[in-house]
Structure 1
Amino acid sequence: MRLFSDKQPTALFGLPSPRERKLLTDALRTETAGGLLLLIAAVVALVWANSPLGDVYETVRDFHFGIPALGLDLSVGHWASDGVLTIFFFAAGIELKRELVVGELRRPAAAALPIVAAVCGMVVPALFYVGVNVAGGGQLEGWAVPMATDIAFALGVLAVIGTNLPSGIRAFLLTLAIADDLGAILVIAVFFTSTLNLFAFAGAVAGLVLYWLLHHKLRVHGWYVYVPLAVVIWALMYNSGVHATIAGVAMGMLLRCTPRNGEETSPAEHIEHLVRPLSAGFAVPFFALFAAGVSVSGSALAETFREPEALGVILGLVAGKFLGIFGGTYVAARFTKAKLSPGLSWTDVAGLSLLAGIGFTVSLLVAELAFTDAATREHVKAAVLIGSLISAVLACVLLKLRDAQYAKLWEDEIRDEDLDGIPDIDQPEDLEHRPTEYKRRAMAAAKARLEAEAQRRVEQEE
């Protein structure tokens, strides 16, 4: 029996293949826990910085230590943003490589919609920022601040309100955030590189080449080889003038994502499984602890809403992200064969677009890089917090209205009536007595599974 036609339109927010759902569940479980820690760290930073112990917060954040002879005498705040946050970018590099090689982004048809949405979700907020600051006579250097989506913070918010988004929407959100991260990485590398030290940069590139040779050609194993090499590459990248987190991205993307004969999983998947908890549970919350401590007094907030730089960030995150992602998704779906997956509506796209306006980690990092004036930088960081909070509240309200529908879709995904360990939706052979909507989702799941199996056969033949 033919379950579906080759001409069947691509389902927007459709059910991923079983393997993709498993990887997605593992990744999002860690990111959700990390998101809760991130929320806690942000609250602690705000309370600490605005308490009678605010001076202690600034003293700790500005305390310098390191190895001055190697150009590594950094403050605690800079160690958090330039050093510890590299772990987050390393995990992002692995995830990006995996998505491009074996994930959803490897197929142009599946990648087109989230990439279009991500590009629009970066360009439109930047245009909002530029428009506000041209009209208000502000600084244009912060145009990249409202561009990024913080997947950990977004999932932390979802965990708090208890919304069970179906796998298709979660996959789209993760892919959107990955494409956002790629855009932010390119922006940081191209626009926020100080005077380039060619010798240090050449040394970092040489280190990356050695890293690739050890991993791909010589097949060297052992963390005791790669960790010291990674530290050297990071230090050289920092001294080159290129932002040090780019070293983490590069090393993550150089890992092999396809298993060889005799391997159950690829090195990238194995290392990501080990590094992601460290990234979500330590690196990002530690960065937030020393980046989110801004003044939220009445006078400080009043100044924030008067400055065009801060207003541009707030409007970019709230309105720019929403219009960019929703509009980009609608236009892409309008002029392609893509259609919404059964059971979902454009209200879900609107909620997801608002959720993407939570731009915390990378937005705060770009704010630190873009503004040299301390007062403006603090106001812009406060604007990031305000814009992210507004987006989170609006998204929660909209998604909560659809919670009953999400719960039904989630039950369909995990139902296993024959108790064989395989969700029934991945076994669409017997659909005689199923509801029409369930049949459609089962057929979409079967199509995704067959496409994934065909792709694996092609990769094995190659």
Structure 2
Amino acid sequence: MSDQQPTGSDLSPPGESTSDTSPSRTAQLKRWAALDTTSGALLLTAATIAVVWANSPWRDSYQDLLEIEFGPAALHLHLSLADWIADGMLAIFFFVVGVELKHEFVAGTLRDFKLAGVPIVAALGGMIVPAACYVAVVGIGDPEALGGWAIPTATDIAFALAVLAIFGRGLPVALRTFLLTLAVVDDLLGITVIATFYTDTINLPALLGALVAVAVFAVLVRMARRWWLLLLPVALTAWTLMHASGVHATIAGVLLGFSVPAVAMRGERMPRTEWFDETIRPYSAAVALPVFAFAAAGVTVVGTSGIIQPVSIGIMLGLVVGKVVGVLAFTALMVRFTPLRLPDSIGLRDLLPVGMLTGVGFTVALLIAELSFEVGSDSHAAAAKAAILAGSVVSAAIAAVLLRWDARQLRDPDMNRDGIPDVDRDVIGG
């Protein structure tokens, strides 16, 4: 779903059509914002600004900005700007992830295990092995920091797809679908980890209230469009109650996204999951994610000691080595010992750069780091964030080189070795 870019008419509500077939300037801007390359460039720019500012003579002003507090105290929402961004802005991104997951499970690549089995297992390998790398290093050198075991398990969809779009020209389009499926499953597992392992106490009445609000949203989003004015206040209610419950508020975004129907209804020309994805993705990609990157990536290393420690070594090892080893090993086992095969036009050699791309952790990894260690007072927090940034950059750089190498190699007519000549020969950028 996310590889489709919205056109002017696609941005009209379901069931409506436009007489003007040429996209408006607003539609063109939204289409540009939703591109993989645009999202990746904005993320990188925001992160770079944060890192430069946090290591400049004016670094105190960066921290002061993020520590500004505002919001209604009566609703337990008197939060710092950093918390508003992590809990609020990132919920928009997780809503898009939830919508995408729902569409993939109902109408996309995840609906058929024969097609999705290999990338699903690859995603599992890409989480288990990096976590094991982290535990092996930190368990020996700094056992008190074992709570950050999930940090190197995350994959940043936006960054990974951007690198593939730029450097993967000439490679099969099926490779993008494989990476997208793997990253989507990775996000689902990451969301489960956040909800399960990074929730200290739960306010049960607030949690039940949040689930009721999600249920109301699910009913409204299936009704005629005249009821959709209620969607935003109901969604905000679900988010507020989820935040009050102690469960990370971004989980509300995922649940709300999951509630959107993934099949066309009421005579509409597209499923509502597609419409919500195309409508909200530009704001997620061009606003929510870059703002979060700006707030989370500002690691001060100038004059800071202790950046190199077991935590940073474990994260670097997990992202740069553990990710690619996990993806390749679990995929090889699946292909070797089960009837499942890779999709058309993809061979095991193509998974080497894909495995490296999954080492681009960034967004979700930074979120888990903030949940694992208390930013500002925990010496592990700065080390973890610095390692995430360094590991993601190294993984992206190696993946870019490998993608260009792979694109120059001759391709076999049966790359996935299923005994049937490959039919899907479309290439990235072709």
TM above 0.5: yes
Take 1:209 and 1:346, find their aligned partners in 2: how far apart are those partners? 43
* 1:53 CA displacement: 1.6
Q: 1:310 matched to which residue of 2? A: 312
Query: What residue number does 2:328 align with?
Result: 326
Distance in 2 (CA, whole Å) between partners of 1:172 and 1:160 is 17
CA contact (8 A) 2:161 2:176 kept: no
- Which of the numbers 417, 422, 430 marks the counterpart of 1:441? 422
| 1:209 shift after superposition | 1.6
Picking from 71, 75, 93, the partner of 2:76 is: 71
2:269 pairs with 1:264: yes
Q: 1:320 to 1:108 in 2, by over 3 A?
A: same
1:391 aligns with 2:372: no
Structure 2 match to 1:24: 3
Q: How does 1:97-136 map to 2 (within 5 A)?
A: 97-136=102-141
Instruction: Name the residue aligned to 1:362.
Output: 364
| Matched-pair contact (CA < 8 Å) for 2:118–2:342 | no
Q: What's the offset of the Cα at 1:31?
A: 3.1
User: Any residues of structure 2 matched to 1:91-102 within 5 Å, and which?
Assistant: 91-102=96-107
Q: Say whether the 8 Å CA contact 1:343–1:405 is kept in structure 2.
A: no
Equivalent residues of 2:356, 2:395 under 8 A apart: yes
- The alpha-carbon deviation at position 386 of structure 1 amounts to 1.0
Contact 2:36-2:165 within 8 A present in 1 as well: no
Of the structure 1 ranges 354-363 and 328-337, higher mean CA displacement relative to structure 2 is found in 328-337
Letter of the structure 1 residue corresponding to residue 75 of structure 2:
L
Match of 1:190 among 196, 213, 224: 196
Do the aligned partners of residues 390 and 396 (structure 1) sit closer, same or farther apart at CA in structure 2, a change above 3 Å counting? same
Asked whether the 8 Å contact 1:215–1:221 carries over to 2, the reply is: no
| Pairing of 1:37-56 with structure 2 (within 5 A) | 37-56=42-61
Share of identical aligned residues, percent?
43
CA deviations on 1:6-63 (whole Å, 9 max, x unpaired) are: xxxxxxxxxxxxxx7xx52438963331111001111111111111221111110111
CA distance in 1, matches of 2:4, 2:230: 31
Out of 278, 285, 290, the residue aligned to residue 295 of structure 2 is 290
Counterpart residue identity of residue 105, structure 2: L
Q: CA deviation at 1:229?
A: 1.0
- Distance of aligned partners of 1:343 and 1:253 in 2 relative to their CA distance in 1, 3 Å threshold: closer
Name the count of aligned residue pairs: 391
Q: Show CA shifts across 1:144-196 (max 9, x none).
A: 00111101112233455464542110000000110000001001111111311
Q: 1:127 to 1:107 in 2, by over 3 A?
A: same
Q: Distance in 2 between matches of 1:207 and 1:344?
A: 43
Contact residue 167 and residue 403 of structure 2 kept, 8 A = no
**Residue 151 of structure 1, aligned match among 157, 167, 172:** 157
**Residues 145-224 of structure 1 correspond to what in structure 2 (within 5 A)?**
145-161=151-167, 163-216=169-222, 218-219=223-224, 221-224=226-229
Q: Is 1:353 aligned to 2:355, yes or no?
A: yes
What's the secondary structure of 1:262's corresponding residue? coil
Contact 2:202/2:245, CA 8 A, preserved across alignment: yes
Match of 2:254 among 249, 265, 268: 249
List runs of 5+ in structure 2 lacking aligned partners. Answer: 7-30, 414-419
Q: Is the 8 A contact 1:347 1:398 kept in 2?
A: no
When normalised by structure 1's length, the TM-score is 0.80
Q: Give, as a single letter, the amino acid of the residue that structure 2 aligns with 1:361.
A: T
**C-alpha distance in 1, partners of 2:174/2:292?**
30
Higher mean Cα deviation, 395-404 or 262-271? Answer: 395-404
Flag the 1:341–1:83 CA change in 2: closer, same or farther, 3 A.
closer
RMSD: 2.4
In structure 2, relative to structure 1, the CA distance for the partners of 1:194 and 1:66 (3 Å cut) is same
Deviation string 1:65-118 (CA, Å, 9 cap, x unpaired) is 111111101111111110000000000000001000000100010111011000
Matched, 1:142 2:140: no
Contact 1:96–1:253 (CA<8 Å) still a contact in 2?
A: yes
Which structure has more helix as a fraction of its residues? 1
Write the distance in 1 (CA, Å) between the matches of 2:343 and 2:372.
40
TM norm structure 2: 0.86
1:319-365 CA distances to partner (integer Å, 9 max, x unpaired)? 11011001111111111334456765433211110111000000000
Q: Matches of 1:370 and 1:116 in 2, distance apart?
A: 26
Deviation per CA, 1:392-419: give whole Å up to 9, x if none: 111111112123359x99xx9xxxxxxx
Distance in 1 (CA, whole Å) between partners of 2:69 and 2:243 is 16
Q: Where does structure 1 lack aligned partners over 5 or more consecutive residues? A: 1-19, 413-438, 447-462
Distance 1:162 1:342 in 2: 17
- SS across alignment from 1:296: coil
Cα distance in structure 1, aligned partners of 2:225 and 2:166: 43
Question: 73-82 vs 331-340, which deviates more?
Answer: 331-340
Distance 1:228 1:340, change over 3 A: closer
- Secondary structure of the 1:256 match is coil
Preserved contact between residue 168 and residue 403 of structure 2 (Cα < 8 Å): no
> Counterpart amino acid of 2:275?
H
Change (3 A) 1:160 1:112: closer
Consecutive aligned runs of 4 or more in structure 1 exceeding 6 Å deviation = none
Evaluate the alpha carbon distance shift between residue 268 and residue 133 of structure 1 in structure 2; reply closer, same or farther with a 3 A threshold: same
1:273 Cα deviation (Å)? 0.6
Highest Rg: 1 or 2?
A: 1
